[in-house]
Structure 1
Amino acid sequence: MTSPFADPSFARGLLLDAQEAGVARFVVAAIIADGERVLLLRRPADDFMPGLWELPSGKVEPGEDFDQALLRETEEETGLTIDRITAYLGQFDYTSRSGALTRQLTFGVTVEKTAPITLTEHDDHIWADRAQLPGVSDAVRELITH
């Protein structure tokens, strides 16, 4: 598979669509699969949306491209290195803790190896079966099971 970023108009289209919707911030997320299982991380009890299971994800920094942010955030949160970005899987919008309209862009990726997982921001991880996901948001559930 070819990375969606191979087409220069792909990222431009995402930006233009977001501008029209009034999106103030971007988050990128990775669906990392190991067979039928996907990697989920649990938000700590003292964080925004405590206890929620989510995909490895994080904010796109000013001046950073989406693909660069995806590589950086995945490695920072899990210790895993993305080998390839294989697909754009969709998006959803939400209001962040600061009140900013935020758009999460989600990508399918492959990693060099699936272990060990080194957590830096979350308090647990699980390789969850797509058919039996723990407490994830409806939007994440839709992306994973689509």
Structure 2
Amino acid sequence: MTVTSPEFVAGLAADAQAAGITGLVAAAVINHDGRVLLVRRNPDDYMGGLWEIPSGTVENGETILDALYRETTEETGLIIGQVTGFVGHFDYQNSRGGTTRQFNFSVTVEKTEPVVLTEHDAHQWALPSALPDVSNAVRELIAR
């Protein structure tokens, strides 16, 4: 079963629901020339100033993959060419006190520039060995 099959994606969502997870997020690990794209949360946002991979909430009626494509384009202006793998998930406490599960997919993009930010204040292509201020979960994810 491929990571883009409807059965695989539905299973991810079902497992999260069974675990009592209240929010789902889809995230893109975009690599280019040995570097990964990171975006920085606005200073006045929840977890402001933290660097992260492009990600966003799975809306009602949307699959995890639908959200992955939509959020990547909304947040960076980049268009996903292909989903190349599922690199795992991690859970974190969200701003409302519930638990969110972030599903992380490695992707290719049609073009790596320009990066057009709508929800973040900066971006960088970072070497996995020299990451800025990211969460431990994102650091572990990129190290895989």
Please confirm whether the aligned pair reaches a TM-score higher than 0.5, indicating the same fold. yes
In the alignment, structure 1 segments of 5+ residues that lack a partner are none
Q: Which of 18, 26, 40 in structure 2 is aligned with 1:28?
A: 26
Q: Which of 121, 124, 127 in structure 2 is aligned with 1:123?
A: 121
- 2-side partners of 1:3 and 1:51: how far apart? 35
In the alignment, structure 2 segments of 5+ residues that lack a partner are none
- 1-side partners of 2:125 and 2:4: how far apart? 27
- 1-side partners of 2:9 and 2:76: how far apart? 25
Deviations 1:104-145 (CA, angstroms, capped at 9, x unpaired): 000000000000000000000000001111100000011111
1:100 aligned partner = 98
How many pairs are equivalent? 144
- 2:4 aligned partner, one-letter code: F
- 2:141 aligned partner, one-letter code: L
- 1:4 aligned partner, one-letter code: V
Equivalent position SS for 2:71: helix
Compute the RMSD of aligned alpha carbons: 1.2
Once the 2 structures are TM-superposed, how far is the Cα of residue 9 of structure 1 from its aligned partner?
2.1
Cα pair 2:2 2:8 within 8 Å, conserved: no
- The TM-score with structure 1 as length reference comes to 0.95
- 1:60 aligned partner, one-letter code: V
- Identity of counterpart residues, as a percentage? 55
Deviations 1:74-114 (CA, angstroms, capped at 9, x unpaired): 00000000000110000001111011210000000000000
- The TM-score with structure 2 as length reference comes to 0.96
